[in-house]
Amino acid sequence: MNQKEFIEIIKRKRISLMLSQKEIAKSIPISKSAYCKIENHLQSPSFFVIRRLAELFDFDLNRIKEPTRTIIYFD
Domain CATH number, residue 50: 1.10.260.40
Entry pTM: 0.79
Is 13 contained in some domain?
yes
Say if residues 39 and 21 touch (Cβ distance below 8 Å).
yes
Is 48 contained in some domain?
yes
Pick from 46, 50, 45, 44: nearest CA to 62: 50
Residue 1 has a pLDDT of 76
6 C-beta neighbours (distance < 10 Å), count: 18
The domain total for the chain is 1
Over its length of 75 residues, how does the chain's per-residue pLDDT go in tens digits? Answer: 788 989 999 999 999 999 999 999 999 999 999 999 999 999 999 999 999 999 999 988 887 665 655 666 665
Q: Concatenated DSSP letters for 23-59?
A: HHHHHTT--HHHHHHHHTTSSPPPHHHHHHHHHHTT-
Is 68 contained in some domain?
no
What domain range includes position 48? 3-62
Is 67 contained in some domain?
no
